[in-house]
Structures are given as C-alpha cells and as structure tokens.
Amino acid sequence: MESVVSGLRDHKESKNSINIKGGNMVAEKRGIGIMLALLTLSLFLFNACSEKSTQEKMVENTLKQATGKDVDVKMQGGNVQIEEKGSKTEIAETTTWPEELVMDVPKFTAGKIKRVVKTHEEGNIWTFNIYFSDLNGDDVKKYAGALKEKGWKTNIMQMGDKGGSLNAEKGTMGMNFMFSVERKDGMLAVFNRP
C-alpha cells in the first residue's frame, strides 16, 4: 500500500517537472489511469484480506439465530474457532490427545483420534469432546480401570452388542464416553463444572 502511495507521489512530482505538449498529455493521462487502477486494486486486495469469508459470516449468522448471541468465527483449514463473550470453542481436525487436559484424566490410548472440540468458559469451566474411531468395547472397559486407579468413580452401561457408555466423576470433573461397537467409534466428553 505504501509503495502505491509513494508511486503516486513520485508520479505527481514528475508531472510537475514535465512540460506537457501534444503526445505527452496522452501518455500522462495513461500513467495517471494506470496509477489509479493500481491504487484501486491495492485497496481491494487490502480489504479482501481483512474481511471474513462468506462461510464464516454464514456460521456467525446461524449461531446468532440459534443462540441470540453475537459470536466471532474464524475458519482455517480443518479448524474452526468460535468466540463469544466469556467463552471460546475450538474444533480441530487432529489425531493427538489434548495437551491441556488435566493430569487427573488418563490418556485414552486405544483407537484413533479424529477430532477434538475444546470449550473454555469463565470460572474455570471447560469441556473436551474427543472423537475416536477403531474402538471396541473392551478398550472402554480397560479405560474404566485406568480411571479407577486415578480415583474416579465409574459406571459402565453396556447396551447388548450395540455399544454403551462409561460415566465417571472425580471432584468437580465429569466424564461421558459413548461408544458404538457396530461402528467401532465413540466420543469421550470430559468436563469441569466448579
């Protein structure tokens, strides 16, 4: 942007030092036209880079209609960040266990992580939703044992050969792990509600 402004200034100074006669006037007008076109293009590109994408605006409008709250949405690659007053949610296509998850929550090492959704709110309120594939029911039962070793109270509910859930609590933290044996997937929700 500065280079365009500098170019216009240099162009204006050179115009003052040239005697315009006949053909030089056409060349001078063409030069001014080119400089104005470059300035317009630079301003357009500057504004385009700073504006939100149509997708981001659509998501913001949808969330505002659903919740009545203003939100700020940022999308980059497979990641989405949603911020509103006092709350921040991040949706990430990732294969790694969230580093921020407290040490009291043992890492679930079976299966494959597909994505993680993190929400942080004021007052140390947080939720992690971790989506898995390639699971089986025994993996979740073994995880219940690891939780008990860390002092969690657990309850497993099996729904025949279809799947089930693991519920656990420790202090102000809670956990729900829903899994499907048929689809071999599941979602682990870990939350803190002080």
Choice between 53 and 194, residue whose per-residue pLDDT is larger? 194
Residue 99 and residue 177 share a domain: yes
> Do 155 and 166 contact (CB within 8 A), yes or no?
yes
Reading the block at residue 6, the tokens are: 């500098």
Q: What is the CATH number of the domain that holds 106?
A: 3.30.160
Do 104 and 12 fall within a single domain? no
Query: How many angstroms from the chain centroid is the CA of residue 66?
Result: 19
Number of domains in the chain: 2
Identify whether 61 is part of a domain.
no
Mean pLDDT of 10-16: 40
Q: Are 39 and 131 in the same domain?
A: no
Q: Are 122 and 32 part of one and the same domain? A: no
Given CA atoms 18, 22, 27, 28 in this order, what sign does their dihedral have? positive
In a domain, 149, yes or no: yes
Per the listing, tokens 């497979």 go with: 78
**Per-residue confidence band for 172, with pLDDT thresholds at 50, 70 and 90:** very high
Do both 185 and 94 map to the same domain? yes
Q: 4-13, 36-45, 148-157, 168-177 — which is least confidently predicted? A: 4-13
Band of residue 19 on the pLDDT scale cut at 50, 70, 90: very low
pLDDT at 23: 52
Q: Decide which of 160 and 194 is more confident.
A: 194
CA-based nearest residue to 98, from 90, 136, 172, 184: 90
Of the pLDDT bands very low, low, confident and very high (cuts 50, 70, 90), residue 101 is: confident
Q: What number of other Cβ atoms are within 10 A of residue 13's Cβ?
A: 9
Residue 175 structural domain: 86-192
The reply to whether 27 falls in a domain is yes
pLDDT at residue 148 above 80? yes
The answer as to whether 55 is a domain residue is no
Residues 129 and 188 in one domain: yes
Phi-psi region of 171 (alpha: psi -120 to 50; beta: other; left: phi over 0): left
| pLDDT above 80 (res 42) | no
Joined together, the tokens standing for residue 91 give: 């949706």
Q: Which residue has the higher pLDDT, 27 or 137?
A: 137
Non-local (6+) Cβ contacts of 69 within 8 A are 63, 84, 85
* Overall pTM > 0.85: no
Residues 95, 151, single domain; the answer is yes
- Max mean pLDDT among 26-35, 66-75, 172-181 falls in 172-181
Residue 30 lies in a domain: yes
Residue 76 lies in a domain: no
Q: Are 8 and 93 contained in the same domain?
A: no
Q: Does residue 78 form part of some domain?
A: no
Hey, what are 120's tokens?
């942080």
Is residue 16 included in any domain, yes or no?
A: yes
